[in-house]
């Protein structure tokens, strides 16, 4: 997978995860699941930033 495709995939994952936490979600998440999702999104956001920094 190219670097651009990786970046797009990470951005899609972040958007999807944020939608699950947002006010328009269809299912309420437990506190445990919410904390795991937030940790996962933080990891993905950091990876995305690193990849973007590597492009410049």
Mean pLDDT of the chain: 93
Q: Are 29 and 21 in contact (CB under 8 A)?
A: yes
- Please write the tens of the pLDDT for every residue from 33-55: 999 999 999 999 999 999 999 88
pLDDT of residue 55: 86
Q: Which of 24, 18, 22, 19 is nearest to 41 (CA)?
A: 18
CA distance 31 to 2: 35
Q: What is the pTM of this model?
A: 0.86
């Amino acid at each position: 997978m190219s670097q651009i495709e990786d970046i797009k995939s990470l951005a899609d994952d972040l958007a999807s995860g944020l939608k699950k936490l947002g006010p328009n979600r269809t299912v309420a998440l437990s506190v445990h699941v919410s904390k795991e999702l937030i940790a996962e999104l933080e990891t993905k956001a950091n990876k995305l930033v690193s990849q973007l920094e590597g492009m410049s």
